[in-house]
A and B are shown apart, each in its own frame.
Chain A
């Protein structure tokens, strides 16, 4: 089958047409958020103007110079990064166990893991609140309003997801490689480090990235289980909605700033994301 130059050109034109259209659709809301973040409160109403009318940076400077905002940002970074690392480690171990060992009720455990992500969060806030303030109390210290509390809690929805993602990846690594390494005298740690880790790296990377993003974006638990010290950036967003007016400009500015770290990660890790998301589609 030969394709003429003309056909190739037409196909390329279609491709670009579709992608430029998709890009506009994708970017329009984000662009609008940017435009709003560049407007003063009094300019918000009126005939909507999609163009950037002027560079009004006060919203950004207000947000960035606010010390509470800086604290929220630090908390978010610490919580989501620690959570992602913890999830990657635990998920790799758990997946390896589920993939290589004959554990009683393995399939059921595997399914039970994911059910943890299904629970509608609202009703679970009360028991979690009691747990955070009462059960885990050492002297005057409680799990409530701590970064460690959120790091552990976010495992509830990130770990199952991570294990599901990694299961296919680890299943896809031929068991013979493990055996060969063991015959060469490697222990469990050696197998994990030298056989599984390199081969599962893309999958692990995407697991880490998505866990990080989910943790970074989480709102409900953070809003209810932190007070002053461990509040995250998403709870800060909700603070702009008040009885005397929603400060859309600053809210948009903060949203833009919140988007930056995730966007950087995505750009850097583009390749891995696709390589790692196969859910074990095909075993080579």
Chain B
């Protein structure tokens, strides 16, 4: 009871503290603009992640206070979120007024015309346009929620890149450095090439074994029962070798090299064999690890280096209640093959996915105006910094300069700076209207390659053929 009381008090305090930041003017504007919709309830669905929970617990309450519009927020698991949002939009039921759109599924939604054009809708409802909300102030991540005309279909709510994390305490230990140099003939540093990455992985695995520590050389997001493994291959490993857009040629509608695709090409095979070749240097849970389990393994100190989603970087580096390696986390750009960075800088490629999600409004919503107000509320600059601190997400250019973030940035070894400066090297998912469908086709082949049932070449050759079959079945193929 006492605890509950403290909690309520704390919540009230947080709310009040936030309220005082909002000037009386703005207060009036929200109340006035929302007057016709006061008392309505808008519903949304999202995955239960820290950024979403911040929206549900903090931002929604502030918004209701200002406008009298209630926000009902359903947080659920990743699979459920999709099936529910898609069912709702496809059946045109209007359960949800805003849905979480993960960046890679936006093109599927756009192709089916599920979403309201927010730019257009705001222009048509000038009386609802909030002065401080500016579409162009979002980071380059917002570009991946736009159609060909540059109109926005989702207000970015979280954005991450998959980075290279390494254990500073290990990499900067003089004894370890000496041992590495003795074995490999060059100094130990965070990896910049794939050869070096592999050497590091091999070295730390052997080191862990010799010291009887639970330590391995690298993470691998290699779950054989989950699409996470395909994602790591297609959105991080592949691109850093120069395999873009899943090796699917949209013009010819094929993934096979014979028809202009690249999924069964040399680059793809090289990337897959390299990645699978890392499995002996990964902790034994790697073949059961999805994205969150990779982060947990790394946070438990079981890997010396690895590819980890940036949304986890902050808690791994700072949250002592969850991570055993706080203060020892180094952050770098992921390793790439020669020429890939240059291609990305020229805009001809990318080194990995710019990941994250946005809130969009389905056409089936019956409260579009109230929802527009809500999306502007969460898209305004003044709420961003604290949200970023709570959820390690940045979607707005103004957020980078906030002192709160600068302070965080130092603790996570410059992850936010990296996001600001090198963010454009990453790109959103390829503009496929068949995203989940084709990924499901590729999954089993990647999984069988991980299990060693197929070689990388066999897996990709068969995968490319299966992809082509599915593409033509879906009507996008040859």
The smallest beta-carbon distance between A281 and chain B, in angstroms, is 41
Give which listed residue, A42, A227, A242, contacts B322 with CB less than 8 A: A42
User: Which residues on the B side are within 8 Å of A130 (C-beta)?
Assistant: 91
CB–CB B84/A65 < 8 A: no
Interface residue range, chain A? 20 to 34
Give which listed residue, B7, B73, B87, B311, contacts A244 with CB less than 8 A: B311
CB–CB B214/A245 < 8 A: no
Known: A40-B321, A45-B296, A134-B91. A241 touches B49 (CB 8 A): no
Q: For the complex, what is the distance from the CA of A244 to the CA of B302, rounded to whole Å?
A: 17
User: Which residues on the A side are within 8 Å of B299 (C-beta)?
Assistant: 42
Interface residue range, chain B? 35 or more
Known: A42-B324, A46-B214. A245 touches B295 (CB 8 A): yes
Q: For the complex, what is the distance from the CA of A135 to the CA of B323, rounded to whole Å?
A: 50
**B312 at the A/B interface (Cβ < 8 Å)?**
yes
1/0 per residue, CB under 8 A from A, across B75-107: the answer is 111101001100100010101000000000000
1/0 per residue, CB under 8 A from A, across B44-88: the answer is 010111100000000000000000000011111110100110010
Give which listed residue, A42, A144, A235, A245, contacts B292 with CB less than 8 A: A245
**B297 at the A/B interface (Cβ < 8 Å)?**
yes
CB–CB A246/B296 < 8 A: yes
Q: For the complex, what is the distance from the CA of A41 to the CA of B322, rounded to whole Å?
A: 5
**A96 at the A/B interface (Cβ < 8 Å)?**
no
Give which listed residue, A42, A61, A129, A246, contacts B87 with CB less than 8 A: A129
**B368 at the A/B interface (Cβ < 8 Å)?**
no
User: Which residues on the B side are within 8 Å of A235 (C-beta)?
Assistant: 76, 80
Give which listed residue, A41, A46, A144, A246, contacts B95 with CB less than 8 A: A144
CB–CB B49/A227 < 8 A: no
The smallest beta-carbon distance between B231 and chain A, in angstroms, is 11
Give which listed residue, B7, B84, B291, B300, contacts A243 with CB less than 8 A: B291
Known: A41-B322, A134-B91. A242 touches B84 (CB 8 A): no
User: Which residues on the A side are within 8 Å of B80 (C-beta)?
Assistant: 223-224, 235, 238
**A126 at the A/B interface (Cβ < 8 Å)?**
yes
CB–CB B295/A244 < 8 A: yes
CB–CB B302/A242 < 8 A: no
User: Which residues on the A side are within 8 Å of B7 (C-beta)?
Assistant: 65
**A239 at the A/B interface (Cβ < 8 Å)?**
yes
Q: For the complex, what is the distance from the CA of A134 to the CA of B87, rounded to whole Å?
A: 12
Q: For the complex, what is the distance from the CA of A130 to the CA of B309, rounded to whole Å?
A: 37
Known: A129-B91, A244-B50. A224 touches B322 (CB 8 A): no
**B435 at the A/B interface (Cβ < 8 Å)?**
no
CB–CB A238/B291 < 8 A: no
**A228 at the A/B interface (Cβ < 8 Å)?**
yes
CB–CB A245/B312 < 8 A: yes
CB–CB B87/A242 < 8 A: no
**B293 at the A/B interface (Cβ < 8 Å)?**
yes
CB–CB B324/A228 < 8 A: no
User: Which residues on the A side are within 8 Å of B251 (C-beta)?
Assistant: none
Q: For the complex, what is the distance from the CA of A144 to the CA of B91, rounded to whole Å?
A: 13
User: Which residues on the B side are within 8 Å of A65 (C-beta)?
Assistant: 3-4, 7
User: Which residues on the A side are within 8 Å of B83 (C-beta)?
Assistant: 125, 224
Residues of B within 8 A of A (CB): 3-4, 7, 43, 45, 47-50, 72-78, 80, 83-84, 87, 91, 93, 95, 214, 291-293, 295-297, 299-302, 309, 311-312, 315, 320-324
**9 extra interface residue pairs, beta carbon distance < 8 Å, beyond A223-B76, A243-B49:** A125-B83, A133-B91, A227-B43, A238-B76, A239-B48, A239-B75, A241-B77, A243-B291, A245-B312
14 contacts between A and B (CB under 8 A): A42-B322, A45-B302, A129-B91, A134-B93, A144-B95, A223-B76, A239-B48, A239-B75, A240-B48, A241-B292, A242-B77, A242-B292, A243-B47, A245-B295
